[in-house]
Amino acid sequence: MKIGRFVVDTHVHAQRHAAGDRLRQRAATDNQNDARYTDLSHEMRHLIAYDNSPRLKFDMETYGVDMCVLLPSFGMTNEINLEIVRNDPDKFVAVCNAKKTVDKALAGEEPWSIEAACAELDGYLSTGNFIGIGEGCPGNPTRKTTIGQTERMDEIRVAMQLARKHKVPMQFHTGVVMGYPLTHCYWPETLNPMWLIDIATEFPDVPMVLNHGGMQGWHSKKWVEDCLFLAAASDNVYLETGLWWTELYERALVDPNIGPEKLMWGTDWGASLPIHGQLRHEPQTYAVQYRRQGVVSHQVDMWGWSLKQLWRLDIPQDDLNLILGGTAARVYKLPVPHTRLFKPVNPKLVPQMEK
C-alpha cells in the first residue's frame, strides 16, 4: 500500500557527478586510501553532472512516489533538469539556480554579484518552466572570508524581490552534513536560520521553504529548533522534513502554530548522504556523512529510511497526506490528478500569492 494519496518529494537531485577519477587522483596525491568529502566538495563545482533519472524513476516505482521537485546543486545544470521535466511532465517539476553566473565567477570571467545572479534567474523564471528558486538562496562561490548578517540579508532581499515578482517560493538551506566544509562565507543562514525572521517579516507574501528543516545531517536539534520557531512565528515559512526522524515530526505536529500544513516531505534524494545507525540511542538512525570513512559510493536508499519514519506516526491520514504532498502542491502550485485530495487549509493563513 502507498503511504499517501499523492506523494511528492520536494528535494530531489536527479543529476549525479562522475567524480571517481578526480577523487582518486586527489586521494593518491594526499596519500589517502579513500576520497574525502572535503575533496568532493572542492571538485563538484568543476565537474559535469549527468542525468541520473533512470535510478530515480526506479525508486519512484519502488516506493510509490508520484512526483519530484528537482533541485540543481553544485555543478548541476538547470538545462538537464529541464530536459528531465520535459520528458516526464507528470512526474517532475524543477526549481532553478544561477549556475552560469557561478561558473563565470569561478572562471574569473566576471565578478559574482547578487544582481547578476538574479538577472540569470529572471530569465529562467520568465519562461514559466521553473516553479521556484533553489537549492538555497544564491551566494558568492568565490568569497573566502566571513560575510556579516547585514550584507547577507541585503543580498537575500534582492532575490526575494525577484521571487515576489514571479510569485514563486524561495528556498533557504538549513542544517549541516558534517562531511562537506561549511563556513559563514557562502550560506551563513545555514548556520544562523534565525536571521531569516527579518526576511519572513519583510516579505509576508513570498513563501519561504527551509531546506531540510534544520536537519540535513548529524543528530543535533539545534537548527531544527530555530526552524520550528520560524515556521510557528511566520505564516509564509514552510519546513522540508524528509531527513527528520519520527520524534522530530511529533515535535512540529503538536505545535498549534505549525502542524502538517507547514510541513513538506523532501529527502535530498541523490545526495552522498549515508544513514547511520546507533541502536538503543536517540535517535536510533539519522543521516550523516562519515568523515573518517570517505565518500559513499552507492545510491543510498533515502526513501526507504525516510518513509519508515513517517509510517511510525499515528496521525490522521489526511494530515499525513498534507506532509507527503498536499503542502507541496499548495506552495509550489503543482498539478494534481484530482481536486479535493487534501483537506483545506485556513485561507487566512496562506500568503496571498499562493492562492
What integer pLDDT is reported at residue 40 of this predicted model? Answer: 58
Whole-number pLDDT of residue 181: 78
Cα 340 → chain centroid: 27
Q: Which of 53, 300, 68, 72 is nearest to 171 (CA)?
A: 72
C-alpha cell at 338: 484530482
Residue from 267, 261, 321, 251 nearest 299 by CA: 267
pLDDT attached to residue 164? 98
pLDDT tens for 315-352 read: 999 999 999 999 999 999 999 999 999 999 976 655 65
Residue 305: inside a domain, yes or no?
A: yes
On the question of pLDDT at 26 being above 90, the answer is: no
Q: Report how far Cα 184 is from the mean position of its chain's Cα atoms.
A: 19
Q: What is the pLDDT of residue 349?
A: 59
Three-state secondary structure along the chain?
A: CCCCCCCEEEEECCEEECCHHHHHHHHHHCCCCCCCHHHHHHHHCCCCEEECHHHHHHHHHHHCCCEEEECCCCCCCHHHHHHHHHHCCCCEEECECCHHHHHHHHCCCCCCCHHHHHHHHHHHHHCCCCCCECCCCCCCCCCCCCCCHHHHHHHHHHHHHHHHHHCCCEEEECCCCCCCCCCCCCCHHHHCHHHHHHHHHHCCCCCEEEEHHHCCCCCCCHHHHHHHHHHHHCCCEEEECCCCCHHHHHHHHCCCCCCHHHEECCCCECCCCCEEECCCCCCCEEECCCCCCCCCCCCCCHHHHHHHHHHCCCCCHHHHHHHHHHHHHHHHCCCCCCCCCCCCCCHHHCCHHHC
- CA angle (87 as vertex; 83, 89 as ends), nearest 5: 100
Q: What is the mean pLDDT of residues 89-101?
A: 97
Task: For the chain, give the percent of residues with pLDDT over 90.
Answer: 81
Q: Is the residue at 315 inside a domain?
A: yes
Q: Residue 125 sits in a domain of what CATH number?
A: 3.20.20.140
What's the whole-model pTM score?
Answer: 0.92
Q: Would 1 be classed as within a structural domain?
A: no
Give 255-271 pLDDT, tens digit per residue.
Answer: 999 999 999 999 999 99
Tell me the β-bridge partners of 17.
49
Q: Does the pLDDT of residue 100 top 70, yes or no?
A: yes
Give pLDDT, residue 74. 83
Q: Backbone phi, then psi, for 208, in 5-degree steps? A: -115, 120
Q: Is pLDDT of 28 > 70?
A: no
Q: CA-to-CA distance for 3 and 77, rounded, in angstroms? A: 31
Q: 322 in a domain, yes or no?
A: yes
Residue % of the chain over a pLDDT of 70: 89
pLDDT at 354: 45
Whether residue 2 is contained in a domain is answered as: no
Residue 87's domain comprises: 8-354
Cβ–Cβ < 8 Å for 66, 8: yes
In a domain, 3, yes or no: no
67 domain-assigned = yes
Number of domains making up the chain: 1
User: What is the predicted pLDDT for the residue at 34?
Assistant: 60
Q: Which of 44, 46, 57 is nearest to 16 (CA)?
A: 44
Mean pLDDT score, 60-65: 98
Query: What was the pLDDT predicted at 355?
Result: 43
In-domain check, residue 299: yes
Q: How far apart are CA 168 and CA 181, in angstroms?
A: 30
